[in-house]
Amino acid sequence: MADRIPPSVTSTTPIGPDVDLDAEDVQLADGSRLTENRAAEIVEEVRRRAGRPSLTGEAAASPRITFRIAPSTRDRAAEIAAREGKTVSQLAREALEERVAAGGRRA
């Protein structure tokens, strides 16, 4: 049963059955040995990169701003965003960018 390949693994995927890295010698492309620690590091690297792409276009995390609003404002923002085919985050980002571009002057 240990040699059974999971149904999600096909001939077109590079994934094979689980490997006991303490018992088997698995080499990485650079010739180093894959260990449990190195495997965990690789998984963490992939998870960090798996999020949304940076707004800067570089391999860096985009800064976040978190703030609270009234439920009615959130609901109205969701309606506007849905009508425009956007997320509430996109709508909020655009509004803040417009205000900042205007030099902080109120319209």
pLDDT tens for the chain, residues 1 to 107: 445 555 555 556 566 778 888 888 888 889 888 888 888 888 888 777 666 667 776 667 778 889 899 999 999 999 999 999 989 999 999 999 999 999 867 65
pLDDT at 98: 92
Rounded Cα distance, 11 and 80, in Å: 46
Say yes or no: 46 and 65 in one domain. Answer: no
Contacts of residue 2, Cβ cutoff 8 Å, sequence gap at least 6:
17
SS (HEC) of 40-85: HHHHHHHHHHCCCCCCCCCCCCCCCCCCCCCHHHHHHHHHHHHHCC
Clarify whether residues 5 and 47 are in a common domain: yes
Q: Which domain holds residue 68?
A: 61-107
Which tokens is 18 given?
Answer: 């689980």
Whether the model clears a pTM of 0.75, i.e. scores above it, the answer is no
pLDDT of residue 21: 84
Q: What is the pLDDT of residue 19?
A: 80
The predicted structure's pLDDT at residue 11: 54
List CB contacts of 4: < 8 A, sequence separation 6 or more.
17
Residue finishing a domain among 30, 51, 72: 51
**pLDDT at residue 64, rounded to an integer:** 84
For residue 19, give the nearest of 10, 38, 31, 30 by alpha carbon: 38
44 and 74 both lie in a single domain: no
Same domain, 73 and 29: no
- 56 within some domain: no
For the chain, the domain total comes to: 2
CATH of residue 79's domain is 1.10.1220
